[in-house]
Homo-oligomer: A and B are copies of this chain.
Amino acid sequence: MTNRRIVATGTFDILHPGHLFYLEESKKLGDELFVIVARDANVKHKPHPIIPEDQRLAMVAALKPVDHAMLGDQTDMFKPIEKIHPDVITIGFNQMFDEERLRPQLTARNLFPEIIRIGKFADGELCSSRLVVQRIIAKRAHDCHHLE
């Protein structure tokens, strides 16, 4: 009997139910869920994280569906995936990875996981770090004046 290993990835800047849904759905696909948390230095395709990487890691590691959480590699995102050797890699509904581009890079490293995109969490709540940030700025707008 072998454990079915799942890898999920993300920045997880300000935790919300959308993250939780992604991780819970990922966990359902196997036995052991490994989560790779993006390094501060590697988040370049969206605003820099508010929360430092060690704190983002600690919070992800504390979530019930997560068996193992670790920071990503600074230079080679495939390095931890090679070590874990997952049966499945899951992609969040709004993550930019493209299966077509991911697949040949995995194959080149002798990795043949299923790649599964997790659907959107259907809920009207603040399921996006961006929306939380917007809400904070809108609700606490008076604080802005102190900065100017």
Contact = CB atoms under 8 A, between A and B. Distances in A.
A60 to B, nearest CB: 11
Interface residues on A, range: 20 to 34
Interface in A116-148: 125-126, 132-141, 143-144, 147-148
Given A125-B54, A126-B51, A16 B137 contact: no
Contact of A144 (B63, B65, B135, B147): B147
A50 interface: yes
In the assembly, how many copies of this chain are there?
2
A77 interface: no
Contacts of A63: 62-64
B59 A16 contact: yes
A52 interface: yes
Interface of A: 14-17, 20, 47-48, 50-52, 54-55, 58-59, 62-65, 125-126, 132-141, 143-144, 147-148
